[in-house]
Amino acid sequence: MLELREVTKNYGGLRSLDSVNLHAEAEMITGLIGPNGAGKTTMINCISGLDHPTSGEIIFDGHSIERTPAHRITGYGLARTYQNIRLFNQMSVLENLIVAQHSDGRATLVEALFFLPSHLREYRQQRERAFELLERFHLMNVKDAPAGSLPYGDQRRLEMARALATNPKMILLDEPTAGMNPIETHELGEHILQMKEDGLTILVIEHDMSLISQVCDEVYVLNFGVIIANDTVENIKQNEEVIVAYLGRED
Amino acid sequence: MEFIFDLLTPYGITENTFQNMLIAAILGISIYITLYAGLFSLANAGFMATGAYVSVILTTRYEWDFLLAVGAGIIAAGLISAIISVPVLRLSDIYLAIATIGFGEILVVLLRNFDRIYELIVNKEETITGGATGIKGIPVITTTEYLLLYLGIVVFLMVRLHRSRFGRALVAIRQDNKVAANMGINVVYYQNMAFILGAMIAGGAGALHGHLNRIILPENYGFDRAVDILTFAVLGGTTTIIGPIVGGFIIAYLPEILRRTDLVGLLGDIFGTDLGRYQANVRDMTVGMILLGVIVFLPQGIASPAMWRRVANRIWNLFNPAEKSDA
Amino acid sequence: MATHQNSLEWRASVREIRNRLKVLTERYPIIANVLIIVLSALLGYFIPYLAAEPIFRTEFNNPEQNFILMLARAGWYSMFALGYALVFSILGLLNLAHGAVYMAGAFAGLWITANQDLPIEYALPAGMLAGGLIGILVDWVAFLPLRARNAPRTSQLISSIGASIFLVNLAFILFIDQFNAPVNRFPAEKVNSIRAFQGTVPIERIEVFGLTLIDQLDYTVFPMQVTMFVVAIVMLIFLQFVIAHSKIGKAMRVVAYNPKVAQLLGINVSLIFAVTFFLSGAFAGAAGVLQGMFRVVGPFMGSEVGLIGLTVIVLGGMRSIPGAVVGSFIIANLQIATIAMGYSWLEEAVVFLALFLMLLIRPQGILGEPLQDRA
Ligand SMILES: Nc1ncnc2c1ncn2[C@@H]1O[C@H](COP(=O)(O)OP(=O)(O)O)[C@@H](O)[C@H]1O
Ligand SMILES: [Mg+2]
């Protein structure tokens, strides 16, 4: 579904990603772990089109996307969340979910001007889809509140709902449990597994090994921009290099 | 119409003042739409000039029908904005502001020297824009009805825009253009469209304004005008469509307010000078103060619903102390 | 693929050279600046020369004269733009009230010589002091409240426009009050009494390394023009020296890098901001007084130079102080060349065209770092 070939990203003199190769199998959950500053967010930015790699290829669902603008990548069916939550804070929860369905819409300004039925129908459909997501992520009772006023856990879930609203085939989650307690983390893991059930491909970046153990089929380990290991969760936990680079730091 | 003025004249709003207020409101909306898309552009004075010169030349030189000429002015402004939007909108923030200031100044110089350039190219002497002295003797065709109609159309356009896919995309872009792109919104396209739409609105305002005062001059459309237009939006606020309208009305009514409160006389007394002849400068000074004061103390503008709600709440709480302890 | 690799290498080596140059200019600011000025001036000699020589050579349009005019202009612009660039490089904000401060300095200088009847020698310090103090005042009123709440940069742009309009029109009222007219001149006899401005400078031949720059000048140089240039150079070097070697200059650099870090290091950030605005205003005031002696003083004298100064710093790189000088020379050259070719009516147009094109081609300016856009 997603493949990175020899992807390198330089910021000035700093090499954030160094010949990274990665393959995320369709309808599987791939994990990406690594210490702070390893280049995980940089990788997601390059995949989702907010940034472009210095060299290398990124192939998503048959499209070569390393130079494609972000909105087009979304149109191909790739969605993401952000490490530091980035909701449209002044919009209501419902509006956040409606604006995310932009690519699926066709209605033009002219149709809106003359109240054409196509415009109204499309808006009604988008509302319905938004309500489904509100229901699923337990956000119904806050649907009219400004997104910025929500408690932290709700914001995390809204961000995930918003990513799903773009109607993706694959979703990239950047540290989705940052700042959550173990119970909330586990609950979020359930949501992620549910998405897999629904046929979504998932790449999840994490710090927290418990979520990785809970959901991942395969794990990549990134350290200083280099992939140092790629294996199942159990094997990764045994891997010497990984323990030194990353897990060892935790205890 | 008469009855409106019967209502307004006691407040010093003559037909002329009212027309200026309407124009100001339209110009305020023209910059509102670009700000709404997260673009800080000061180019709308230039687009106003485009609309004014194109339509006036068409009605006076080629005797076009007025409405057709206005339409041509709107289209001309749209075309020019479409041409410059591609390179200019790659910039953002203060760089965009500077580039659009530069554009406005270039346009003014061009208008001032258009005839000379024409002569250089075509090798024929002709008076088209009339250089620094402008075009004189323009027939006064614009009426209050035309202005009201145009404002009505523009407001309708904006209100519908807010409720459309287009409008929602703009709000998303303004709040976070990177995330908007990740939501599938073509940021460049929508910003370009908003820029062009703003330019066309300003072009129409320019065309109507051009047929209001018998004369148009390049100097009318320079940096000072750009700042005026910005003031309409800043004073009223840019969270709702009401903002630029209120802002435009107040600034256009300002000279009258100054006259009624006799600020000119007051300042004159303080400095011991007769400022009677210098009303325009006192007015400009007030505009400067408003711009500074609003941006410092009321960043949402004076027509911000959120602010008024807060004020209303506070007053409510003042009279119902019990409510507060409940909450 | 291979060409891509080549262009990457090429870029890397360009970057390397730039970095080395940067280190050198930081280590030896005075030498670097003198070099920049000499190079720009030489360039500026040949451009108007080429422009004027073949067709238009007349008594009033000859390369020697154009060269002097260009130097005076470049001096005037750099004096003004230095303060502009200084504020931008330390605080990252564009102070569009800088033109108003320039005007205020000129006004103060004029007022104490024409109205208070003090000797003309006091005009320059008075203008600098007034400019500096008004600069600080502008910061307090227009920028400090916005900084405190972390408002966007565009808000600061708006408030500085507001401050500018206010100051200019207030000055207008004060002019009417003090002089009964909206413009005024420095008393001619006082200006002429300054020794540096007296008489004419007999220049017959200037050679540099055997190259004849000026030969048989049948034109009397206004010493004023030369003074303008010299004062600008002295100020530039002074400013660079302060930033490079003084304690306060080092603090300024830390604040420019990151005010929060500076705070943690125990630097009095508010003081540094005040010093920055004072210096910036004082430079503008000096430029205002000198130019005011040359032409007229009036409330609107700052608007034209304000926009030209904006162009200058955009060309040079808004964060770069030597860039302000480079930009000044470029603009002065462009303008003088345009005039020399007989298109004086395009004198303003070339400035704004340069501004516009620079922003499209290289928004960070000639000496600026690339603008980065964090995802
Ligand atoms: N836009 C950028 N400009 C410069 N450096 C960046 C940028 N984005 C990330 N970096 C640098 O790249 C490195 C990797 O960062 P990041 O991808 O955020 O790591 P992670 O998400 O694994 O914690 C860091 O050293 C960071 O400072
Ligand atoms: Mg990260």
CA of A35 from ligand 2 middle (Å) equals 9
Q: Are residues A67 and A173 in the same domain?
A: yes
Contacts of C375 in chain A (CB under 8 A): 45, 50-51
Contact B48, B206 (CB under 8 A): yes
Residues C329, A244: Cα–Cα separation, whole Å? 58
Structural domain count, chain C: 1
pLDDT of residue B11: 79
Phi, psi of B109 (to 5 degrees): -60, -40
| Strand A226-231 with A218-223, pairing | antiparallel
Residues B318, A170: Cα–Cα separation, whole Å? 54
pLDDT tens track for C330-367: 898 888 888 877 788 888 889 999 999 999 888 888 87
Q: Which domain holds residue C146?
A: 30-361
The verdict on B162 touching A (C-beta cutoff 8 Å) is no
Q: Chain B neighbours among C 328-347 (CB < 8 Å)?
A: 345-346
Taking residue B62's Cβ as centre, other Cβ atoms within 10 Å add up to: 9
Contact B234, C158 (CB under 8 A): yes
Residues B256, B213: Cα–Cα separation, whole Å? 19
Residue at which a domain ends, from A118, A143, A166: A166
**Does residue C75 fall inside a structural domain?**
yes
Against chain B, the chains showing at least 3 CB pairs within 8 Å are: A, C
Taking residue C54's Cβ as centre, other Cβ atoms within 10 Å add up to: 9
Task: Point out the least confidently predicted range of B312-321, C79-88, C189-198.
Answer: C189-198
Contact C50, C70 (CB under 8 A): no
Chunk chain B into consecutive blocks of 10 residues (it has 327) and report each block's average pLDDT, rounded to whole numbers. Answer: 76 86 96 94 96 95 93 97 92 90 92 88 84 88 92 94 90 94 94 96 96 92 93 91 94 87 81 79 90 90 84 84 51
pLDDT of residue C296: 85
Residues contacting C274, CB < 8 A, separation 6+: C136, C139
CATH of the domain at C216: 1.10.3470
Task: Point out the least confidently predicted range of A18-27, C33-42, C164-173.
Answer: C33-42
Q: Is the pLDDT of residue C215 over 60?
A: no
Residues B105, A225: Cα–Cα separation, whole Å? 48
Q: Are residues A69 and A173 in the same domain?
A: yes
Q: Which domain holds residue B86?
A: 2-261
How remote is the C-alpha of B54 from its chain's centroid? 18
* B&C contacts, CB < 8 Å: 129
pLDDT tens track for C277-298: 999 999 999 999 988 887 888 8
Q: For C297, which DSSP code?
A: B
pLDDT tens track for C8-24: 667 667 777 777 777 77
Structural domain count, chain B: 1
Helix (H, G, I), strand (E, B) or coil at B30: helix
Q: Which two tokens stand for residue A18?
A: 């160094």
Q: Which of C18, C20, C40 is nearest to C327 (CA)?
A: C40
Residues B190, B173: Cα–Cα separation, whole Å? 9
Q: Which residue has the tokens 């206004």?
A: C222
Q: Which residue owns the Cα nearest ligand 1 atom 1?
A: C374
Contact C235, C287 (CB under 8 A): no
Q: Are residues A127 and A145 in the same domain?
A: yes
Give the bridge partners for A170, in sequence order: A78, A201
**Does residue C300 fall inside a structural domain?**
yes
| DSSP characters over A74-125 | HHHTEEE--SS----TTSBHHHHHHHTTGGG----HHHHHTT-HHHHHHHHH
- Min Cα distance C175 → chain B (Å) is 10
pLDDT of residue B2: 73
Q: Are residues A1 and A107 in the same domain?
A: no
Q: What is the mean pLDDT of residues A101-106?
A: 85
Residue/partner pairs of B153-158 with CB below 8 Å, 24 or more apart: B154/B26, B154/B29, B154/B201, B154/B204, B155/B29, B155/B241, B155/B245, B156/A113, B157/A113, B158/B29, B158/B32, B158/B33, B158/B241
HSE-up (13 A, CA, CB side) for residue C101: 35
**Banded model confidence at residue C150, pLDDT cuts 50, 70, 90:** confident
CATH of the domain at B231: 1.10.3470
Structural domain count, chain A: 2
Q: Which domain holds residue A228?
A: 1-77+168-251
Phi-psi category of B65—alpha, beta or left, where left has phi over 0 and alpha has psi -120 to 50? beta
Give the bridge partners for A204, in sequence order: A31, A173
Residue at which a domain ends, from A146, A166, A186: A166
- Inter-chain contact A88–B179, Cβ cutoff 8 Å? yes
What is the helix, strand, coil percentage profile of chain A, to 5? 45, 25, 30
- Min Cα distance C365 → chain A (Å) is 18
**Does residue A82 fall inside a structural domain?**
no
pLDDT of residue C375: 53
**Does residue C18 fall inside a structural domain?**
no
Q: Are residues A150 and A191 in the same domain?
A: no
**Does residue A234 fall inside a structural domain?**
yes
**Does residue C19 fall inside a structural domain?**
no
pLDDT of residue C5: 60
Q: Are residues A162 and A196 in the same domain?
A: no
The verdict on B291 touching C (C-beta cutoff 8 Å) is yes
pLDDT of residue C48: 56
pLDDT of residue C116: 84
**Does residue A245 fall inside a structural domain?**
yes
pLDDT of residue A250: 46
Q: Which atom of ligand 1 is nearest to the CA of A44?
A: 17
Task: Point out the least confidently predicted range of A41-45, B298-302, C237-241.
Answer: C237-241
HSE-up (13 A, CA, CB side) for residue B42: 30
CA of A42 from ligand 1 middle (Å) equals 6
| CA angle (A204 as vertex; A202, A209 as ends), nearest 5 | 135
Residues B135, B216: Cα–Cα separation, whole Å? 5
**Does residue C366 fall inside a structural domain?**
no
